């Protein structure tokens, strides 16, 4: 029995030309003022010309897809309204600050490894971002805490399905924003993991970016944090990126994280390329090396993946195909190949995340 991803990939590739053609017809009505069904290109259809005027047949798929498309706008408004309501309530001001960054992402992901069949599993992530009337103070509630996720997992996040990720629990924090010069942004968070009993924490972050010359740009992201239960730690991220030939962008990212409870440094070096193929499709190949310092400095994993991301509908419905091969130390560096197929929906008043 063939893995399900052997069916997903051909089906998606057959679907893409039809979607692109449909979009061009919608976006350019002036160029098709005398458009008729007979004038549409044959590639637009997947049925016989005699069936052009046949009555559409209802199916579970068409009913479900129509329901999903109709839900985006009202649900996005609810997510945005929730952030604005919390902003007004906490600040005591009848006016909400603009540029709210609340979002909700839900989707389904399936992973197939060699002869193992893929199984679709639900995923969900959210952020409630409340910019109070005081511009430098925010209330941020998130579905997960980045600091408590192992570095090796963060660098391979899109390769994983929900059940393969660490459960760090939701967090709530007040964030104070400030600046150091024109290039460095600072933030300090004080909050707790939303559980009983709560786990109080403090974290600080400094991020800056500098243009080194006409081609290269350097970015630094430094974090320190302390959790009452897990102890303290730090993360240092250094990236160099530049625009290359034919629209490709290159990024070399080095990262080190200190996990105090394990007395261990986690290390990562990732080389990635990115290109926007058109207004719908993006391509992102990567090569990564992961390591640690305990019990000795050593490599723990080598991986390569390729993310093909396609915008299925407007700017909130996306599909991803991510073939991956990795060589983990825990499996004696034997190759492990997999393919992840993901369908993701964004419900948000501000999608520039």
Q: Are residues 155 and 304 in the same domain?
A: yes
353 occurs within a structural domain: no
**Rounded Cα gap, residues 278 and 17, in angstroms:** 13
Question: Could you give the 3-state DSSP secondary structure of residue 109?
Answer: strand
User: DSSP readout, 296-318?
Assistant: SSEEEEEEEEEEEEEEEETTTEE
Q: Are residues 52 and 67 in the same domain?
A: no
Question: For every one of its 353 residues, what pLDDT tens digit does the chain have, with 9 covering 90 and above?
Answer: 444 444 344 444 444 444 444 444 334 444 444 445 556 666 555 556 666 666 666 665 566 666 666 665 666 566 556 656 555 554 444 444 444 556 677 777 777 776 565 666 777 776 776 665 456 788 888 888 888 888 988 888 887 877 777 877 889 998 888 888 778 899 999 999 988 888 999 999 999 999 999 999 999 999 999 999 888 999 999 999 999 988 999 999 999 999 888 889 999 999 999 999 988 899 999 999 999 998 899 999 999 999 999 988 777 788 999 999 999 999 999 999 989 888 888 776 444 43
Number of domains in the chain: 2
Q: Are residues 159 and 245 in the same domain?
A: yes
Residue where a domain terminates, one of 14, 33, 57: 57
| Cβ 326 vs Cβ 77: under 8 Å | no
Task: Give phi and psi for 313, each to the nearest 5.
Answer: -150, 125
* Burial of residue 300, with CB atoms counted within 10 A of its CB: 0-12 exposed, 13-18 middle, 19 or more buried: middle
Q: Are residues 7 and 69 in the same domain?
A: no
| Count of beta carbons in the 10 Å neighbourhood of residue 134 | 12
Q: Are residues 50 and 114 in the same domain?
A: no
Tokens 């893995």 map to which residue?
A: 3
Question: Could you give the 3-state DSSP secondary structure of residue 319?
Answer: strand
Range of the domain at 2: 1-57
pTM of the model: 0.68
Q: Are residues 165 and 105 in the same domain?
A: yes
106 occurs within a structural domain: yes
320 occurs within a structural domain: yes
**Rounded Cα gap, residues 276 and 110, in angstroms:** 24
């Amino acid at each position: 029995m063939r893995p399900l991803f052997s069916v997903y990939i051909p089906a998606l590739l057959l679907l893409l030309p039809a979607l692109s053609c449909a979009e061009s017809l919608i976006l350019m009505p002036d160029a098709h003022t005398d458009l008729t069904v007979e004038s549409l290109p044959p590639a637009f259809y997947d049925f016989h010309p005699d069936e052009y005027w046949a009555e559409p047949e209802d199916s579970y798929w068409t009913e479900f897809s129509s329901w999903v498309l109709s839900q985006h706008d009202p649900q996005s408004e609810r997510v945005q309204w929730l952030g604005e309501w919390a902003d007004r309530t906490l600040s005591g001001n009848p006016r909400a600050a603009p540029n709210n960054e609340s979002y909700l992402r839900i989707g389904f992901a399936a992973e197939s490894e060699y002869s193992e069949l893929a199984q679709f599993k639900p995923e969900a992530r959210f952020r409630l971002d409340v910019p109070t009337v005081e511009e430098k103070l925010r209330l941020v509630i998130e579905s997960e805490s980045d600091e408590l996720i192992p570095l090796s997992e963060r660098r391979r996040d899109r390769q994983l399905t929900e059940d393969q990720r660490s459960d760090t629990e939701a967090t709530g924090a007040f964030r104070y924003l400030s600046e150091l010069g024109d290039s460095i942004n600072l933030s300090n968070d004080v909050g707790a993991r939303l559980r009983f009993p709560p786990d109080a924490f403090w974290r600080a972050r400094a991020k800056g970016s500098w243009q080194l010359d006409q081609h290269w740009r350097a970015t630094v992201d430094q974090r320190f944090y302390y959790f009452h239960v897990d102890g303290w730690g730090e993360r240092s991220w250094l990236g160099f990126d530049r625009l290359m030939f034919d629209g490709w962008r290159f990024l070399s990212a080095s990262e080190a994280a200190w996990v105090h409870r394990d007395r261990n440094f986690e290390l990562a070096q990732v080389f990635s390329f990115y290109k926007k193929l058109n207004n719908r499709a993006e391509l992102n190949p990567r090569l990564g090396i992961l390591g640690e310092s305990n019990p000795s400095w050593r490599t723990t994993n080598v991986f390569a993946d390729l993310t093909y991301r396609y915008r299925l509908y407007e700017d909130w419905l996306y599909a991803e195909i991510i073939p991956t091969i990795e060589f983990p130390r825990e499996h004696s560096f034997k190759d492990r190949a997999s393919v992840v197929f993901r369908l993701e929906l964004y419900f948000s008043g501000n999608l520039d995340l």
